[in-house]
Amino acid sequence: MLHVRTAGVLQVPMPSTGQDGATLQADEGGILWELLQWMPGSPTTKPSGRQAAAAGDVLARVHRAAAAWPTCPRRVGHSPGVLHRVARARDLLARPWATRLDARYRGPLRETFERAIAIFAAADGRQAVTRVAEWESRLLVMQPVLRDVWSDHVLFAGEQVTGIIDWHTAGIDTPATDVARLMGSWAVDQETMRVFLDSYSALCPLSGDEVSLVPFLRDTGILFGLDNWFRWIVEESRSFADRRKLEARVEFLLSALPVAVRSLARGVSQAF
Protein backbone atom coordinates (compact mmCIF):
# COMPACT_ATOMS: atom_id res chain seq x y z
CA MET A 1 0.00 0.00 0.00
CA LEU A 2 1.30 3.46 -0.90
CA HIS A 3 1.02 5.93 1.96
CA VAL A 4 0.88 9.59 1.04
CA ARG A 5 1.34 12.65 3.21
CA THR A 6 0.71 16.23 2.17
CA ALA A 7 1.90 19.68 3.18
CA GLY A 8 -0.38 21.06 5.86
CA VAL A 9 -0.59 17.74 7.65
CA LEU A 10 -0.37 17.96 11.43
CA GLN A 11 2.95 16.29 12.19
CA VAL A 12 2.08 14.44 15.39
CA PRO A 13 0.72 10.93 16.02
CA MET A 14 -3.02 11.12 15.47
CA PRO A 15 -5.90 9.17 13.97
CA SER A 16 -6.28 9.23 10.19
CA THR A 17 -9.96 10.26 10.46
CA GLY A 18 -12.06 12.36 12.78
CA GLN A 19 -15.05 11.12 14.73
CA ASP A 20 -17.23 11.74 11.70
CA GLY A 21 -14.94 9.65 9.50
CA ALA A 22 -13.63 12.59 7.47
CA THR A 23 -9.91 13.18 6.94
CA LEU A 24 -10.35 16.99 6.87
CA GLN A 25 -11.00 18.52 10.29
CA ALA A 26 -11.14 22.14 11.54
CA ASP A 27 -9.63 23.12 14.88
CA GLU A 28 -11.04 25.69 17.30
CA GLY A 29 -9.33 28.50 15.42
CA GLY A 30 -10.92 27.50 12.13
CA ILE A 31 -7.70 26.11 10.64
CA LEU A 32 -8.32 23.08 8.45
CA TRP A 33 -6.06 20.05 8.99
CA GLU A 34 -5.77 16.95 6.85
CA LEU A 35 -5.40 13.82 8.99
CA LEU A 36 -3.18 11.18 7.41
CA GLN A 37 -0.81 8.55 8.65
CA TRP A 38 2.62 10.11 9.09
CA MET A 39 5.31 8.16 7.22
CA PRO A 40 9.08 8.22 7.75
CA GLY A 41 11.51 9.16 5.03
CA SER A 42 13.41 12.06 3.54
CA PRO A 43 13.88 13.46 0.02
CA THR A 44 17.06 13.45 -2.05
CA THR A 45 18.28 15.17 -5.19
CA LYS A 46 20.73 12.35 -5.89
CA PRO A 47 18.89 9.04 -5.69
CA SER A 48 20.78 5.81 -6.17
CA GLY A 49 19.84 3.53 -9.03
CA ARG A 50 17.67 1.43 -6.74
CA GLN A 51 15.95 4.50 -5.33
CA ALA A 52 15.29 5.77 -8.85
CA ALA A 53 13.83 2.39 -9.80
CA ALA A 54 11.61 2.43 -6.71
CA ALA A 55 10.41 5.94 -7.54
CA GLY A 56 9.61 4.91 -11.11
CA ASP A 57 7.60 1.95 -9.87
CA VAL A 58 5.63 4.03 -7.33
CA LEU A 59 4.88 6.83 -9.79
CA ALA A 60 3.67 4.26 -12.32
CA ARG A 61 1.35 2.74 -9.72
CA VAL A 62 -0.03 6.18 -8.89
CA HIS A 63 -0.70 6.84 -12.57
CA ARG A 64 -2.24 3.43 -13.14
CA ALA A 65 -4.60 3.92 -10.20
CA ALA A 66 -5.45 7.45 -11.35
CA ALA A 67 -6.21 6.24 -14.88
CA ALA A 68 -8.85 3.90 -13.45
CA TRP A 69 -10.61 6.69 -11.55
CA PRO A 70 -14.24 6.42 -12.76
CA THR A 71 -15.05 10.12 -12.44
CA CYS A 72 -12.01 11.20 -14.51
CA PRO A 73 -11.81 8.83 -17.49
CA ARG A 74 -8.81 9.05 -19.77
CA ARG A 75 -9.31 11.17 -22.87
CA VAL A 76 -7.34 12.48 -25.82
CA GLY A 77 -6.41 16.15 -25.93
CA HIS A 78 -3.63 18.73 -25.92
CA SER A 79 -1.40 18.85 -22.85
CA PRO A 80 -2.19 21.88 -20.66
CA GLY A 81 1.43 21.75 -19.50
CA VAL A 82 2.75 22.05 -23.04
CA LEU A 83 0.32 24.85 -23.92
CA HIS A 84 1.30 26.68 -20.73
CA ARG A 85 4.99 26.45 -21.61
CA VAL A 86 4.34 27.82 -25.10
CA ALA A 87 2.51 30.79 -23.56
CA ARG A 88 5.32 31.31 -21.04
CA ALA A 89 7.87 31.28 -23.85
CA ARG A 90 6.01 33.98 -25.74
CA ASP A 91 5.86 36.09 -22.61
CA LEU A 92 9.59 35.60 -22.00
CA LEU A 93 10.36 36.74 -25.54
CA ALA A 94 8.31 39.88 -24.95
CA ARG A 95 9.73 40.48 -21.45
CA PRO A 96 13.29 39.09 -21.21
CA TRP A 97 14.94 38.63 -17.83
CA ALA A 98 17.36 41.46 -18.54
CA THR A 99 14.52 43.97 -18.83
CA ARG A 100 12.68 42.58 -15.81
CA LEU A 101 15.64 42.86 -13.46
CA ASP A 102 14.81 46.44 -12.62
CA ALA A 103 17.67 48.63 -11.37
CA ARG A 104 15.60 49.28 -8.27
CA TYR A 105 15.82 45.63 -7.22
CA ARG A 106 18.75 45.40 -4.83
CA GLY A 107 17.78 42.20 -3.07
CA PRO A 108 20.28 39.53 -2.01
CA LEU A 109 19.67 37.48 -5.16
CA ARG A 110 20.47 40.23 -7.65
CA GLU A 111 23.92 38.84 -8.39
CA THR A 112 22.41 35.37 -8.86
CA PHE A 113 19.84 36.68 -11.33
CA GLU A 114 22.54 38.59 -13.22
CA ARG A 115 24.45 35.33 -13.48
CA ALA A 116 21.32 33.61 -14.80
CA ILE A 117 20.97 36.27 -17.50
CA ALA A 118 24.59 35.75 -18.57
CA ILE A 119 24.26 31.94 -18.64
CA PHE A 120 21.02 32.21 -20.61
CA ALA A 121 22.62 34.47 -23.23
CA ALA A 122 25.75 32.32 -23.56
CA ALA A 123 23.63 29.21 -24.17
CA ASP A 124 21.63 30.86 -27.00
CA GLY A 125 18.65 31.37 -24.75
CA ARG A 126 16.60 33.50 -27.13
CA GLN A 127 16.78 30.81 -29.81
CA ALA A 128 15.70 28.23 -27.25
CA VAL A 129 12.71 30.28 -26.13
CA THR A 130 11.75 30.99 -29.75
CA ARG A 131 11.65 27.27 -30.48
CA VAL A 132 9.49 26.65 -27.43
CA ALA A 133 7.14 29.46 -28.47
CA GLU A 134 6.75 27.75 -31.85
CA TRP A 135 6.31 24.25 -30.43
CA GLU A 136 3.51 22.31 -32.13
CA SER A 137 1.29 20.62 -29.56
CA ARG A 138 0.16 17.06 -30.36
CA LEU A 139 -2.86 15.09 -29.22
CA LEU A 140 -2.01 12.84 -26.27
CA VAL A 141 -3.83 10.72 -23.72
CA MET A 142 -4.86 12.87 -20.75
CA GLN A 143 -5.53 11.59 -17.21
CA PRO A 144 -5.18 12.69 -13.56
CA VAL A 145 -1.51 13.39 -12.72
CA LEU A 146 0.34 15.03 -9.82
CA ARG A 147 1.99 17.88 -11.82
CA ASP A 148 4.29 18.89 -8.93
CA VAL A 149 6.14 15.67 -8.18
CA TRP A 150 9.80 16.68 -7.75
CA SER A 151 12.73 15.67 -5.57
CA ASP A 152 11.44 17.35 -2.40
CA HIS A 153 8.12 15.57 -2.68
CA VAL A 154 9.34 11.95 -2.91
CA LEU A 155 10.40 10.44 0.41
CA PHE A 156 12.82 7.55 0.84
CA ALA A 157 13.76 5.30 3.72
CA GLY A 158 16.82 3.48 2.49
CA GLU A 159 16.04 2.33 -1.05
CA GLN A 160 12.28 2.32 -0.61
CA VAL A 161 9.78 5.09 -1.33
CA THR A 162 7.75 5.76 1.79
CA GLY A 163 5.56 8.58 0.56
CA ILE A 164 4.77 11.24 -2.00
CA ILE A 165 3.71 14.60 -0.61
CA ASP A 166 1.92 17.74 -1.84
CA TRP A 167 -0.82 16.58 -4.17
CA HIS A 168 -2.52 19.98 -4.09
CA THR A 169 -1.72 20.89 -7.70
CA ALA A 170 -2.92 17.57 -9.17
CA GLY A 171 -4.90 17.91 -12.38
CA ILE A 172 -5.46 16.50 -15.86
CA ASP A 173 -2.45 16.22 -18.18
CA THR A 174 -0.20 13.66 -19.85
CA PRO A 175 1.69 11.31 -17.48
CA ALA A 176 4.86 12.53 -19.21
CA THR A 177 4.57 15.76 -17.19
CA ASP A 178 5.16 13.91 -13.91
CA VAL A 179 7.93 11.75 -15.36
CA ALA A 180 9.74 14.83 -16.68
CA ARG A 181 9.15 16.90 -13.54
CA LEU A 182 10.78 14.33 -11.27
CA MET A 183 13.65 13.53 -13.62
CA GLY A 184 14.44 17.21 -14.09
CA SER A 185 14.72 17.75 -10.33
CA TRP A 186 17.42 15.12 -9.82
CA ALA A 187 21.16 15.72 -10.16
CA VAL A 188 21.97 12.26 -11.51
CA ASP A 189 23.62 10.73 -14.56
CA GLN A 190 21.92 9.42 -17.68
CA GLU A 191 22.09 5.82 -16.50
CA THR A 192 20.10 6.59 -13.35
CA MET A 193 17.57 8.47 -15.46
CA ARG A 194 17.24 5.43 -17.70
CA VAL A 195 16.76 3.13 -14.70
CA PHE A 196 13.93 5.34 -13.47
CA LEU A 197 12.27 5.49 -16.88
CA ASP A 198 12.59 1.74 -17.45
CA SER A 199 11.07 1.02 -14.04
CA TYR A 200 8.18 3.36 -14.74
CA SER A 201 7.62 1.96 -18.23
CA ALA A 202 7.48 -1.63 -16.96
CA LEU A 203 4.07 -0.81 -15.44
CA CYS A 204 2.98 2.21 -17.53
CA PRO A 205 4.55 2.15 -20.99
CA LEU A 206 4.77 5.58 -22.59
CA SER A 207 3.78 6.11 -26.20
CA GLY A 208 6.37 7.27 -28.71
CA ASP A 209 5.04 10.82 -28.57
CA GLU A 210 5.16 10.78 -24.76
CA VAL A 211 8.74 9.52 -24.71
CA SER A 212 9.74 12.29 -27.13
CA LEU A 213 7.95 14.86 -24.98
CA VAL A 214 9.71 13.97 -21.70
CA PRO A 215 13.05 15.73 -22.49
CA PHE A 216 11.19 18.81 -23.77
CA LEU A 217 9.12 18.99 -20.58
CA ARG A 218 12.20 18.41 -18.43
CA ASP A 219 14.23 21.16 -20.10
CA THR A 220 11.40 23.69 -20.21
CA GLY A 221 10.64 22.86 -16.59
CA ILE A 222 14.16 23.94 -15.66
CA LEU A 223 13.95 27.11 -17.76
CA PHE A 224 10.55 28.22 -16.50
CA GLY A 225 11.31 27.07 -12.97
CA LEU A 226 13.99 29.77 -12.93
CA ASP A 227 11.58 32.16 -14.63
CA ASN A 228 9.20 31.60 -11.70
CA TRP A 229 11.84 32.85 -9.28
CA PHE A 230 12.32 36.01 -11.35
CA ARG A 231 8.60 36.66 -11.13
CA TRP A 232 8.16 35.76 -7.46
CA ILE A 233 11.17 37.64 -6.11
CA VAL A 234 11.89 40.49 -8.52
CA GLU A 235 8.41 41.35 -9.77
CA GLU A 236 6.13 40.26 -6.94
CA SER A 237 8.52 40.84 -4.01
CA ARG A 238 7.48 37.63 -2.31
CA SER A 239 9.26 36.60 0.87
CA PHE A 240 10.28 33.05 1.73
CA ALA A 241 10.95 31.84 5.24
CA ASP A 242 13.71 29.38 4.35
CA ARG A 243 16.32 31.52 2.60
CA ARG A 244 18.88 28.73 2.47
CA LYS A 245 16.47 26.35 0.76
CA LEU A 246 15.45 29.05 -1.73
CA GLU A 247 19.05 29.75 -2.69
CA ALA A 248 19.83 26.05 -3.02
CA ARG A 249 16.88 25.58 -5.37
CA VAL A 250 17.87 28.53 -7.55
CA GLU A 251 21.49 27.33 -7.69
CA PHE A 252 20.31 23.87 -8.77
CA LEU A 253 18.28 25.37 -11.60
CA LEU A 254 21.24 27.54 -12.62
CA SER A 255 23.52 24.50 -12.77
CA ALA A 256 21.04 22.69 -15.04
CA LEU A 257 20.22 25.73 -17.20
CA PRO A 258 23.06 25.62 -19.79
CA VAL A 259 22.38 22.04 -20.93
CA ALA A 260 18.61 22.54 -20.91
CA VAL A 261 18.78 25.78 -22.94
CA ARG A 262 21.28 24.45 -25.48
CA SER A 263 19.12 21.35 -26.03
CA LEU A 264 16.03 23.48 -26.59
CA ALA A 265 17.93 25.84 -28.90
CA ARG A 266 18.94 22.89 -31.10
CA GLY A 267 15.27 21.94 -31.35
CA VAL A 268 15.80 18.42 -30.03
CA SER A 269 16.13 18.06 -26.27
CA GLN A 270 18.67 15.52 -25.13
CA ALA A 271 17.12 12.07 -24.80
CA PHE A 272 17.85 9.56 -22.07
Average pLDDT estimate for 120-129 = 96
Fold observed for domain 41-153+168-266 = Aminoglycoside 3'-phosphotransferase; Chain: A, domain 2 (3.90.1200)
Rounded Cα distance, 42 and 76, in Å = 36
Question: Among the ranges 26-30, 133-137, 238-242, which has the highest mean pLDDT value?
Answer: 133-137
Task: With a cut of 50, say whether residue 51 has pLDDT above it.
Answer: yes
Interacting residues of 136 by C-beta distance below 8 A, sequence separation 6+: none
Strand-pairing partners, residue 34, are 9, 24
Beta strands in the chain (DSSP E): 24-26, 32-34, 75-78, 139-145, 154-157, 160-164, 171-173
Half-sphere CA count of 122, side-chain side, radius 13 A: 10
pLDDT digits (tens, 9 = 90+) for 249-259: 999 999 999 99
Residue among 183, 178, 82, 89 at smallest CA distance from 139:
82
* Ranges of each domain in the chain: 1-38, 41-153+168-266
Give this prediction's pTM: 0.85
> Under 8 Å CB-to-CB from 31, ≥6 apart: which residues?
none
Whole-number average pLDDT of the chain? 88
